[in-house]
């Protein structure tokens, strides 16, 4: 997906001057930052409450060793923070609950020798929040209600 419709444009904190935001897409050259405490902040599009599955830095040429993903709700709820296992830059242990509408996703980086992150690409995989569906069973007139998950593959660039 070249233009994700469920995530707003990422905000690149401390990216090198002249950085093109789309360089954060997987398969592109990546983004190089100027400070070790650089971050990528991604707001959710209004009205969307996805369930995150995986956030990663897929570029094998990056100096990023680990990532920390923080979800900050628009409400006064406490932010949730998850860190990738030591030596990996993949977070895939998200709770199976939708993010709240208006939340932001912040990705911070741990690099080799505490250097500024280099050649960073970012992949975000999520699905829609569940919705309710009604099914009519043909053998009876009784209605049943269930949860339907709409699968999405979101790649943030």
Residue 112 domain flag: yes
Residue 63 domain flag: yes
Residue 2 domain flag: no
- Confidence (pTM): 0.77
Domain tally for the chain?
1
Asked whether the beta carbons of 14 and 103 are under 8 A apart, the reply is: no
Residue 57 domain flag: yes
Can you say whether residue 63 is alpha, beta or left, with left for phi > 0 and alpha for psi between -120 and 50 degrees? Answer: alpha
% of the chain surpassing 90 pLDDT? 52
Residue 157 domain flag: no
Helix or strand or coil: residue 84? coil
| Domain region containing 78 | 11-148
Residue 94 domain flag: yes
Residue 153 domain flag: no
CATH number for the domain that contains residue 19:
2.60.120
Q: What pLDDT, on the 0 to 100 scale, is given for residue 1?
A: 40
Asked whether the beta carbons of 94 and 53 are under 8 A apart, the reply is: yes
Give tens-digit pLDDT for 9-45: 899 999 999 999 999 999 999 999 999 999 999 988 8
Q: Within 13 Å of residue 134, how many CA atoms lie on the same side as its CB?
A: 4
Q: What pLDDT, on the 0 to 100 scale, is given for residue 78?
A: 87
Give tens-digit pLDDT for 74-107: 887 889 999 999 989 999 998 888 888 888 999 9
Residue 2 burial by Cβ neighbours in a 10 Å radius (0-12, 13-18, 19+): exposed
Residue 1 domain flag: no
């Amino acid at each position: 997906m070249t233009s994700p419709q469920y995530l707003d444009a990422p905000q690149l904190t401390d990216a090198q001057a002249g950085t093109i935001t789309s360089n954060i897409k997987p398969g592109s050259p990546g983004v190089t930052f100027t400070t070790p405490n650089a971050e990528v902040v991604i707001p959710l599009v209004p009205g969307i409450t996805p369930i995150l599955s995986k956030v990663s830095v897929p570029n094998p040429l990056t100096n990023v060793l680990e990532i920390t993903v923080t979800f900050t709700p628009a409400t006064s709820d406490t932010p949730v923070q998850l860190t990738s296992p030591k030596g990996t830059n993949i977070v895939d242990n998200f709770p199976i609950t939708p993010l709240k509408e208006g939340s932001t996703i912040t990705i911070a980086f741990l690099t080799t020798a505490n250097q500024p992150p280099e050649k960073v690409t970012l992949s975000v995989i999520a699905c829609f929040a569940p919705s309710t569906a009604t099914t009519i069973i043909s053998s009876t007139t009784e209605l049943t209600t269930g949860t339907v998950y709409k699968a999405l593959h979101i790649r943030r660039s």
